[in-house]
Amino acid sequence: MGTPEFAVPSLEVLAESKFNIVAVITAPDKPQGRGQKLVASPVKQCAEKLGIPVLQPTNLKSPDFIEELRSYNANLQVVVAFRMLPELVWAMPAYGTFNLHGSLLPQYRGAAPINWAIMNGEKETGVTTFFLQHDIDTGRIIFQETEPILDDDDVGTLYQRLMVKGAALVLKTVRAIEAEKYPSVPQPAGVEIHHAPKIFKETCEVNWDRPSKEICNFVRGLSPYPGAWTVFQGKTYKLFRVKEEALNHTNSALPIGAVDTDNKTYLCIRTKDGLISVQEWQPEGKKRMTIADFFRGNKM
């Protein structure tokens, strides 16, 4: 069970390892682009190449879907980046249902663990497989693998590494369950937990009245998608790559949020404790570009 690109390597590695994948469940096709043409999810496209039956329920509690799912008589269900499942579904197989999550649980439970780990300035994250139970992302842990968060990582680069590492962990988990030799450990209780809620547009607005380091992490944690944003002179700009700069005698008096630029090669914004130099951004209605490219046809 999965929908986005993140789930595709897990499906591929199980197929390559000759496990009998009786069906794939994914989201319904969605309209995309100007023509609003229906486009299949990455997982559906992969499943069709592999010749695996695909189910696309709109209602996971529908009697028709439940009956069809039960007809496949699966021993085990694997979830990677899918919707929240009703108990009727996750409790169906004899070996249960496990999920791959993009963090070291219990930290960063929720829909956007990769984003929030970078936004909060973490130096390490990882992937976890765990058995589903009633409360989201709280089930018993099977395996975990750690992954460093590099200083120049953004969501795009970390996502790719966790996607590959996660697929290997899914394979390891399925093999352990098949052999009936696997850990099943309760998640630690009584620890301070960082959560990873779904990200909305308003979540992504930059607050310039914060330290430069925090703003850099915030931008990295939303790049390349959905993108941190700010408003200058009535127009919205998405920020994708920024770096910290020190104040000097010419810009130290600038108020927070003010712009310092030569309208040629650099654009800096005053923060609580310094400057942020914008390296790449996307002006409203235009493509992503470097600041130098922006100034070839625009001025601030």
Residues 280 and 268 sit within 8 Å (Cβ to Cβ): no
- Cα 46 to Cα 23: distance, rounded to the nearest angstrom: 12
Residue 163 has a pLDDT of: 98
User: Per-residue confidence at 131, pLDDT binned at 50, 70, 90?
Assistant: very high
Q: What is the mean pLDDT of residues 202-217?
A: 97
Evaluated on CA atoms 102, 106, 107, 110, the torsion sign reads positive
Q: In whole angstroms, how far apart are CA 95 and each of 32, 98, 143, 251, 272?
A: 37, 9, 16, 63, 53
Whether residue 300 is predicted with pLDDT greater than 90 in this model: the reply is: no
Residue 103 has a pLDDT of: 98
Task: Give the chain's length.
Answer: 300
Residue 132 has a pLDDT of: 97
Beta pairing, strands 97-101 & 77-80: parallel
Where are the chain's structural domains?
Answer: 5-178, 201-295
Percent of residues, the chain, with pLDDT higher than 70: 100
Tokens representing 235 are: 């127009």
**pLDDT, tens only, 13-66:** 999 999 999 999 999 999 988 888 999 999 999 999 999 999 999 999 999 999
Architecture of domain 201-295: Roll (3.10)
Three-state SS at 169: helix
Query: What CATH topology corresponds to 5-178?
Result: Rossmann fold (3.40.50)
Instruction: Give yes or no on whether 5-178 and 201-295 have one common fold.
Output: no
User: Per-residue confidence at 227, pLDDT binned at 50, 70, 90?
Assistant: very high
Residues 170 and 80 sit within 8 Å (Cβ to Cβ): yes
Whether residue 212 is predicted with pLDDT greater than 90 in this model: the reply is: yes
